[in-house]
Amino acid sequence: MKFAKLIVLICIGSILTSCSGKVPKEPVVTSVPSNSSITPQPASSPKAESDEEGQQPDTLDGKLTVISREEAGLSTIEPLDFSKFSVNKRLIELLANVESYNNEDYKNGIVVGKKILMSNGFMDEEILISERYKDNIINDIKIGTDMDYIKKVLGEPNIKDDRGFIFYKTKEYYLGFKGYSKVEYAILVNREITEDKNILARIVKELDREKDLGEILNSNQELTAFFNESGHINGGGWYANSYLGMEIVQFDSNTITIYNNYEGYLYLAKDFEYDIKYVDNDYQVENAIETIDDYIAENKEFDTSGVLSPSGKLKSTYYWGYSMLHYFKIKTLDNSRPVFRVHVPAGDYRWLTDDYILYLNAWFTEPHIVRVSEDNNEDIDIMYELGVYGDDDSHRPSFNFSIKNIEGNIITLYDSKNNKEYKVEYSIGSNGIEVKMAN
């Protein structure tokens, strides 16, 4: 399967075409199992004609029946021509090459979200324009601009949302704004299109043959390339998502969800273990909204529960997803670099310096010191370093540590299991951090 990424041209200019639509707060879902009452569309009907590249719908020898977008309940939102407008030069550069994103961009208020290495080598990410961004976004529109003025300049958005978002789906990208009266945030993301109109049929065929989504993701590189994100679900099962408008979940129930930005052939399936559902929302828009919401929630978390470093230059929060997903989130208060993560299984913790955090291992309460850097894996097991226990876990004593006190460079740890206190002295030099028993 091939898919093309439309890269924005730096010079943008033509007539704006306006159309209006509305994305409901709760998605409209059309489920089409094999016993659906939808009137099937014969493969030979005009709506199922081959596209201009000569592709024909694949019915898998009668297992699939072609249906129209109208029968599936999917709106068709035509992309707008924004070539008459001028997007900020740096934003255009990031759309074309997100790997050029740097600390200066973040300092200026541009926030790049989750990093996903695409199968074709591109980094495809939403480019969030935050409340700190001072420059123009498109033409003379910037953070703080009246929402009504945006519509006056750009025309009516072709995607609206009652959560305070408007989006312009253009031929090259999506441009979204959040705000009820004035722009609070904006977001840009490249528009994805697929060249394989039969990708849904091919996925159905593989799932019908193999049954296990995880096995397909591990063995079929061509189909895996279609998905932007995929992986194992905690508790069992698998998922796979594509910006091109498709989600697959194999868990308690098996579903394939198709969104209205999907541009391939649509089908009813007969005697198939997955329920095919159609949702009249744009998947790329939903991801963009989630990116903005996550950014707002993360900032609120730092404001309300972030722990200051000794100098007051950094703040930390801790996230525990499940046994294999947990990390510190570190924010520089001068916005000199993006928020970054330090992956350790931490329970209670304290800052030692701006460079080091003392934490108790969430599983066994062993005290550790970790360097606050996403690029450095320096993590010291204090009691191992001091010889309290060695490599052989079977000879480790049973303990239950807590952090009692930190005064100067002396850490006081208490083992309630053995009613024993340890005073540990730490020092930091060119070789990192070192510990020893305090006198």
Which residues have CB under 8 Å from 152's CB, separation 6+? none
Query: Residue with structure tokens 């958005």?
Result: 157
Alpha helices in 184-226 (DSSP H): 199-210, 213-219, 221-224
Q: How far apart are CA 225 and CA 353, in angstroms?
A: 44
3-state DSSP assignment of residue 206: helix
Per-residue pLDDT of 62-78, as tens digits, reads 788 999 999 999 999 99
Which residues have CB under 8 Å from 137's CB, separation 6+? 87, 88, 91, 129, 143, 175, 186
Closest-CA residue to 224 (of 249, 201, 199): 199
Full-model pTM: 0.83
- Of 141-145, 193-197, 310-314, 391-395, the one with minimum mean pLDDT is 391-395
Burial category of 431 from C-beta neighbours within 10 Å (exposed 0-12, middle 13-18, buried 19 and up): exposed
**C-beta separation of 231 from 37 below 8 A:** no
- Of 75-79, 191-195, 343-347, 394-398, the one with minimum mean pLDDT is 394-398
3-state DSSP assignment of residue 434: strand
Per-residue pLDDT of 85-142, as tens digits, reads 999 999 999 999 998 999 999 999 999 965 443 343 444 579 999 999 999 999 999 9
Domain ranges within the chain, ordered by starting residue:
3-14+78-193, 29-72+197-280, 306-437
